[in-house]
Amino acid sequence: MKPEERERFAERLLDAHLKRYGQIEPRVGLEARVLANVQDHAQPERQFWRSQSWARLAAIAAIVVAIGVVFWLTRSPFPAGTAPVASTARETSAPGARNLAELAASEVTETPLSGVKYPRNPARSAVIAKSDPTPPRLEQFPSPQPLSEQERILAGYVAEFRREAVLVAEAQTRLERQDALETQMLSSDEDAARNSETPK
């Protein structure tokens, strides 16, 4: 066989093979089976729309969202029981009270109550952090306060007339001690008189 004839023959064989390749027929009733399967899968979706359960689901979802929004808006930024203690303690200015308050505040901030949930929303936490008026804790306790007007005048006098100031202070101390003695004597005399007057 010539090469051209061989190629032509091969071409015919190839065509015949490809024809057979594409002449595959499905089993009878393919369309019916496919339709039945498709309808089976479409049924639940259709029932969902017809039964109006979508409306019920939507209503439930709306209620849940509303409750969530209300809860989020009304929730305190600090857990109950911690914030009030901390804020009142920090507002107190008396040195003795401040000591106790600082202690209480440090206890509150360092050991959180078990089961207390802190706010997780970062934006909300940022707002809380901004609105918190607590000054940073200082190293010295009690923290140094600026001198009053009278204290400043006194400090100036002591610096200028140191000797006189010492004398005045000694005289003042002596006077106070004398006053204290007199007060003590008076009170003991009153007690003795009261005891003698009491009927037996």
Partner 1 sequence: MFEGRQLVTGQALVSQALAAEQIDDDALELAVREHARLVYRVAYTVLRNHHDAEDATQETFLRVLRYRRKLAGIRDSRTWLARIAWRVALERRRRAPEVLLEEASMASRIPSAAASADEALLGQEMSAVFEGLIAALPAKLRDPLILSALEEMSTTDIAEVLGINAAAARSRLFRARQILREKFAALPGTL
**Distances from the Cα of 147 to the Cα of 37, 150, 152, 153, angstroms:** 92, 8, 6, 10
Find out whether 166 and 157 touch, Cβ atoms under 8 Å: no
> What's the min distance (Å) between Cβ of 43 and partner 1?
11
> What's the min distance (Å) between Cβ of 67 and partner 1?
21
> What's the min distance (Å) between Cβ of 48 and partner 1?
11
Q: Which is nearer to partner 1, 20 or 117 (CB)?
A: 20
> SS3 for 13?
helix
Find out whether 135 and 105 touch, Cβ atoms under 8 Å: no
Report the C-alpha gap between 118 and 108 in whole angstroms: 14
Q: Which is nearer to partner 1, 23 or 114 (CB)?
A: 23
Q: Which is nearer to partner 1, 37 or 125 (CB)?
A: 37
> What's the min distance (Å) between Cβ of 24 and partner 1?
5
**Distances from the Cα of 174 to the Cα of 161, 179, 184, 186, angstroms:** 20, 9, 15, 18
> What's the min distance (Å) between Cβ of 30 and partner 1?
5
Rg value, the chain, Cα? 48
Q: Which is nearer to partner 1, 42 or 147 (CB)?
A: 42
> What's the min distance (Å) between Cβ of 63 and partner 1?
16
Q: Which is nearer to partner 1, 24 or 159 (CB)?
A: 24
Contacts 24+ apart (CB under 8 A), 76-84: 77/119, 77/124, 77/127, 77/128, 78/128, 79/112, 79/113, 79/116, 79/117, 79/118, 81/113, 81/116, 82/108, 82/112, 82/113, 82/116
Q: Which is nearer to partner 1, 15 or 170 (CB)?
A: 15
Q: What residues make contact with partner 1 under the rule CB under 8 A?
A: 1, 3, 6-7, 9-27, 30-31, 33-35, 37-38, 41-42, 46, 49-50, 52, 55
